[in-house]
Amino acid sequence: MAGATTLKRLKTIEGHLKGVVRMVEEDAYCIDVIRQIQAVEAALNKVSAQILEDHLNSCVITAIRGDDPQDRERVLKEISEVFEMANKV
């Protein structure tokens, strides 16, 4: 699942988020804070997309090629649920 690159990206995002917290604590200009939040969101979306791609290329392919119809249904339902949740946010 999440490899070293993913972990490195998440730690970088964590650092950026701490910077946003500091900006709020220091009463930084609101638009600057919003821009930094948007940058964090974009970085998280990129990591999420990479994890999803890895999942599709491993777990989902394995389940679809496998002999267990319940496993196939499960992974397809999970993907559908991920997209449903993304649309609710």
Could you report the per-residue pLDDT of 45-66, keeping only the tens digit for each?
Answer: 999 999 999 999 999 999 999 9
Confirm whether pTM is higher than 0.75. yes
Set out the domains of the chain in order of their start, with CATH numbers: 4-88 (1.20.58.1000)
pLDDT, residue 88, reads 83
Q: DSSP for the chain? A: ---HHHHHHHHHHHHHHHHHHHHHHTT--HHHHHHHHHHHHHHHHHHHHHHHHHHIIIIIHHHHHSS-HHHHHHHHHHHHHHHHHHHH-
